[in-house]
Amino acid sequence: MVNDQRAFLTACIISSLGIAINILGVFAHVYAPVLLKHPGSLLLMHIVCQCFYLSHWLIAYPQRYEYFIYRDISNRTCEQIAMFTSIFYYASWVYILSLCSEIFIILKYKAYKTSKIRLVLYNISAFLFSVLLMIMYYFLDSLGLSEVGSCFIKMSSVGELIDAVLNFCLTGLLIFSYYLIRKQLGCCYGPAFRILSKVVLVMCVTIVLSRVSIIIIYIQRGNSDHVAAYTIILGSTTSIIWGTSAAISRSLHPKVISKIKALCGEESTPKEPFLDSKDFEREEVMKSILNFTLDGEADDIADAFDNLGHKILIQILVLLTIRFREEKDSTQTLREALENNLKHPENRKYPETNFISLAYELQMPFIVKVFCPDISLLEFNSNIFQCIKSSTGFTKDLILDSLLSYENLKAISSINNKGGRSNSFFFTSANQKIIIKTITAEEKNSLLKFLPSYSKRVVEQPQSKLVRILGLFEVLPHKQDFIIMENSIPNRDSCHIFDLKGSTVNRHVGGVDSENPPTGLVLKDLNFKRWNNKILLQNPSEVIKHIVDDMKLLKKHKLMDYSMLLGVYQNPSVQTRYFVSSIYSISIIDFLQRYGTRKSLERVWKRYFLRKTEGISVISPIRYYKRITKYLKSIIEHI
């Protein structure tokens, strides 16, 4: 029984305020559509669900009152309202937990490309979870007058106990989710991640306050079925705090605020860099880098990941510059380096002073913005790679010239090779000397196993055509593995390039005239076949022997799916160790795919379950070796 009609009037006013705030949150998404980009749509769905949930305070009055604004609501009607209320309440829980899950998945695995599939699963989960719970409460006769005077989970019912346990578990899960997000976040991610993490934090605090108030009400009520006036007010107040926290956070989003300021005629003053450059071109490059990757406020995670690959690449260039500036010449032989093989990577963590001094020395103010307490560089087996660099003639100065230059920065700001979504990017330095390429953890482990044999081969056999890998690193906190390798195709714009595997499965680049192929574009086997040219050499048997010996080593280590990168020049301005004549360059690249359990299972699945007899790209290293060496011999002829 309820003894104070004024309490319901207060609850009505409070809930009306909550609904108005949630509607404002919906309008914020409409006013700034960028907020709807994934995973912002999950927050919008949470706000909509909370809007419907709070509306039950306006229609749930189970007691007859004298005033005309109230009406009698039967137990049956209250039960129906409770069914409606429970669906939207638990659906809102699923959406906020889905948001946490999505942020964590994107931060940890950078799995942005599959977000649409997960979005469908989140919506299905919200519907099933809420409806199934509502049905359970219905059959347990647990829908009706709640302990805070609304039509929700009935007092002194089995459902009330289930709801209490469920809310306790969901609250704990939300807090744990925030912990996981913060653990992954670090300090190198942009505002988009931080804004959403703050939304989750606010919701953690408000739901805890709401649960504490419910526990207080439950203890004060004891065994009575009496609903006091203060419980109605307290219950509605805590509900609005929890139910509107997301809407308030989204309404205060920087993008919404900036639009409102612009509407009012206020314009923000751009920040000036702390260093002044007299060179106009350099100043423009610095501004573009600052705005493009470091200073720009990404409006959502989608935009943040669009720029994440560029941001990581800038961090890599800065960290590598600091690292190689401190490098000292080593007299250690390869045998000594292999005997002293380091089991654990070196964690090169640099203080902020290194970034400041480098920024002033190079007149690149954005370098200071790269620093954060979490950022560091893991380097694997530096002593072995030092021997490889020495054997290839890569000096400290040559590597530094290939890193932080204005030409490289221009290239970064213009490329659309977005590493965040694909978890991979490929960057060639402006001086055409090195390539920075991100790799997977599986490829990193494969390289570490292959490294002793690989280093012996490329150091002791200069004629080897295995592309020279000059370093293996990981940038933290992104946990992004990458390698530095020698560029085997310099001046690619003046060169016909073919990536050859000796296969016809998905080995064609469309939209080009294969008989007159363009330069600078990497084509494949079928394009090369239609070009109808051969590699004409004076000493084909010697060249074939060196390449086959390289491939034998790869076969021995169960490596497959590698390619022969063929470059055909007209008048090359420079020649590298990969040239087999005055116009032909051949190198072996992408040899970090190991034929392990996963690859063998993939082949079994395609062969025996999908019943594919042709077009299976996954084959054993032995079969791959036989196929590609046979193909190699077929495309090389004596002049």
DSSP string over 566-623: EEEESS-SS--TTBSSSSEEEEEE---EE--HHHHHHHHIIIIIS---S------HHH
Percent above pLDDT 90 for the chain: 42
The answer, yes or no, to whether residue 605 has pLDDT greater than 80, is no
Q: pLDDT-based confidence at 372, cuts 50/70/90?
A: confident
The 3-state DSSP composition of the chain as helix, strand, coil percent (nearest 5) reads 60, 10, 30
Domain range 489-639, CATH class? alpha beta
Between 308 and 259, name the one with better pLDDT.
Answer: 259
pLDDT computed for residue 597 by the predictor: 57
Whole-number Cα distances in Å, 118 to 39, 90, 303, 308: 10, 19, 19, 21
What is the distance between the alpha carbons of residues 247 and 146, in angstroms, rounded to a whole number?
A: 25
pLDDT computed for residue 418 by the predictor: 42
pLDDT in tens, 549-587: 999 999 999 999 999 999 999 888 888 999 999 999 999
Region 537-559: what's the mean pLDDT? 95
| DSSP letter (8 states) at residue 552 | H
Tokens of 28: 């914020």
Whole-number Cα distances in Å, 51 to 235, 471, 572: 16, 55, 68
Q: Contact at 8 Å (CB) between 392 and 468? A: yes
- The secondary structure of 342-408 as a DSSP string is -SS-EEE---HHHHHHHHHHHT-THHHHH--TT-EEEEE-HHHHHHHHHHHT--HHHHHHTSS-HHH
The answer, yes or no, to whether residue 274 has pLDDT greater than 50, is no
What is the distance between the alpha carbons of residues 245 and 205, in angstroms, rounded to a whole number?
A: 10
pLDDT in tens, 212-249: 887 887 777 666 666 667 677 777 788 888 888 888 88
The answer, yes or no, to whether residue 419 has pLDDT greater than 50, is no
Between 338 and 308, name the one with better pLDDT.
Answer: 338
Cα-Cα-Cα-Cα torsion 527, 532, 535, 540, nearest 10 degrees, comes to 120
Between 41 and 214, name the one with better pLDDT.
Answer: 41
pLDDT computed for residue 480 by the predictor: 87
Between CA 30 and CA 32, with CA 31 as vertex, the angle to 5 degrees is: 90
pTM here is 0.72
The answer, yes or no, to whether residue 62 has pLDDT greater than 60, is no
What is the distance between the alpha carbons of residues 153 and 138, in angstroms, rounded to a whole number?
A: 10
What is the distance between the alpha carbons of residues 188 and 226, in angstroms, rounded to a whole number?
A: 54
Region 449-458: what's the mean pLDDT? 96
CA 206 to chain centre: 29
Low-confidence winner among 230-234, 414-418, 440-444, 547-551 (lowest mean pLDDT) = 414-418
Low-confidence winner among 184-198, 370-384, 616-630 (lowest mean pLDDT) = 184-198
pLDDT computed for residue 272 by the predictor: 43
Average of per-residue pLDDT values in the chain = 82
pLDDT in tens, 259-272: 888 777 665 444 44
Low-confidence winner among 317-326, 361-370, 542-551 (lowest mean pLDDT) = 361-370
The answer, yes or no, to whether residue 448 has pLDDT greater than 50, is yes
Q: Contact at 8 Å (CB) between 556 and 535? A: no
pLDDT in tens, 95-154: 999 999 988 888 777 776 678 899 999 999 999 999 999 999 999 999 988 877 788 898
Low-confidence winner among 126-130, 279-283, 509-513 (lowest mean pLDDT) = 279-283
Question: Phi and psi at residue 455, in whole multiples of 5°?
Answer: -65, -40
The CATH number assigned to the domain with range 271-487 reads 3.30.800.10
Q: Where are the domains of the chain?
A: 5-255, 271-487, 489-639
Q: pLDDT-based confidence at 285, cuts 50/70/90?
A: low
pLDDT computed for residue 466 by the predictor: 97
Percent above pLDDT 70 for the chain: 81
The CATH number assigned to the domain with range 5-255 reads 1.20.1070.10
**Up-side HSE of residue 318: CA atoms within 13 Å toward CB?**
31
